[in-house]
Structure 1
């Protein structure tokens, strides 16, 4: 793209915005009294307009990034080569200051834009193309830049291809632009952890040395207390706190779950302050029940045996070092449950039942399949969610995995009080949703990956895969593929 093409693109975007606004105004004014449902057509027009505006915003952001990168290169050429580190720093500061003034933004924001624009135009061609086409947003783009930071060129290209190239080896299930940015970051970070060229064991050992607790005062007599901890420790604390808070809920309890979590942690850390006492206005209970939480750890078999260094997956978090998973297994941690996976494709193994009431094993399977509330964009972890029959039991629905969802309380209520309806699920895929307007939205699908088999064990892997194809019931010791440790 040259400067004249950039100007033409900008003019085309301006025309597109004007045409869209005009079309929406015309659609609003032209409802005919004789139409079956003119207001529905108007409402659909506004919704379609919102979606189109989102695509135009993405195309505008792509042009902005291209212009920023172009100005940076031109300014560098005009300044000539730096004669010293101080001269180089001065040139960078001048460049950032110029862009900040031109855009009326802070120099920090201008510096971030220039860095992101450089990455897009030099190392992430698929991301820039998707942004130019309007199929991903600027937020998605920034996440891609962030998650490929400090990766070498082949690793960055592999991560980008996984989410944006449908012809890549083992591409992501679902296009990146179909995920809200927060969920895309989670999936991108998970993939990055699995495929990072530096062992997760080495990176974890380096990061664990930085564990700490931080305190930050806030407004209105409040403050933040946060802890940077190993993932298994943090997940155990969070799930135990959630379980204890839920146990306190009841008709006589006026605190919501978030408040109960906060009061529970305060009580545990301060050792109790008396029945119904206040801690600077926040009521806590002297005795907080501490029922056992349930944390699922999905471990590739060979990683569990120490033959490979594949990451394990911690429910509600993502990849963890295999040594951490092996320690959880070896220590027999009561709050953690080991999950064995299919060696052919990495999918967790199914558990079934036909009665109305779900078994504990079925609830764990739903947590494995969905990982979170299956409503598009929702990030509520499965521990907080409620099992729900897609086709009601009273209407002939069964209690099989393919007829079950696990929506959070909010989206469970949405399903039963509005025209939003879940669609059919499978044993490996959560249900999608159909809106009152008839639009269908897919749920997020977890990206399972086949376990890595070392070359000298490849024959064993092929034999096991053939054996499992002939005998669908997996040959795994014990009464159930999900066991309490």
Structure 2
């Protein structure tokens, strides 16, 4: 039995039987009565359950606590139904009203509209297309929900599925009768089915989902989907095989990461058999590694250095590691370094990675906030120096919610060069190509603030403040009064002895011992 937590996702709204944008009647109630009814369905249960929890008073017993947990679970379902409705309805209404809104903007801000249209032509994007409207709104919703655009994009898939395809499931979710996962599984396995087949699936699964576990709903929904799916098993396999990929993520504060290979089952089995056979050839009694550790090491060595007897890979990665020298000297046991594109790693691991580094680059950071404020320049071209500074200061794309690394982002003027913007560190930041298009063609605005942060304004008026990734301490940043950071009093500054080791790290000339003692 497969675990739904580890199932591979190929969810796509185009696989749902959605009517064309602009014709989805659920998102545009026709009468005051229907609007009122919709409001009661989605907001009424939330209000009632929140009031019940608030008025219940202190917990009296274990059974009382369990009943409240059940109420909270139902409240989660009602909130998810409300969120799905808001997402699906709003993006539909934006698409329907796009032409009228554009006409209003053209009348009030003709210059801005003309510039945005020129930018849209440059980026070869159609702002009126359903795909662009959806992506733009997902980015705005990500700001409101404080999630990544990828997570909100997934939410949007389920929102449209619930609102426009599985409406009975949405009503049951709003009432708190089924869980969020159960509702999402029904939408997930409605892909590639006809509306009448989805109606049968809801009829069979919703009574079960009101009492069964999420895993049971997952298995029943998947089985029902396979029975009704018009595609042959071979066609489904071919489609799945076309989605083979390698993914990775860094989710461990101890400097660990994960690579996941999605491929045919026979290929995966062959790889695992090869790893086990290779590990089985090692009969060293002094090797204390576990089987899992040995297999992981063989897998990594094979990809980086090649199998035994081969020349290995000609490609050597470029790793950028920031090691806080003063912090390391002050307390090496607690110091954390930063691996570009990953995040904090123990300083011991950083030193181990850096011991064979062919070159080093000094980075000057603010000792109070940790922000990168200058980068050593050993090249004549200032553009490279600026690029080095932004790579260490911003770390990744500075668009809200985007973490595309510096290597795939580009330098961008906050105030456009054509409008007098300077090419300096205050007016430059990193943006990936996609979000350059958002900024120049889709109505996103950005303002550089005196405290070093950036203020973004979404097309529909939502503000969000972005702090450079290299900043560790935001205590002294003044977002409200828009002032420069105020330095703390001297006693709050970590004391680091100015000894010979500190001077060597900072590349200061050596000084007599008497001068060091006086310092």
Same fold (TM over 0.5): no
User: Normalising by structure 1, what TM-score?
Assistant: 0.40
- Of structures 1 and 2, the one with the larger relative CO (CA 8 A, separation 6+) is 2
User: Normalising by structure 2, what TM-score?
Assistant: 0.38
Greater Rg over alpha carbons, structure: 2
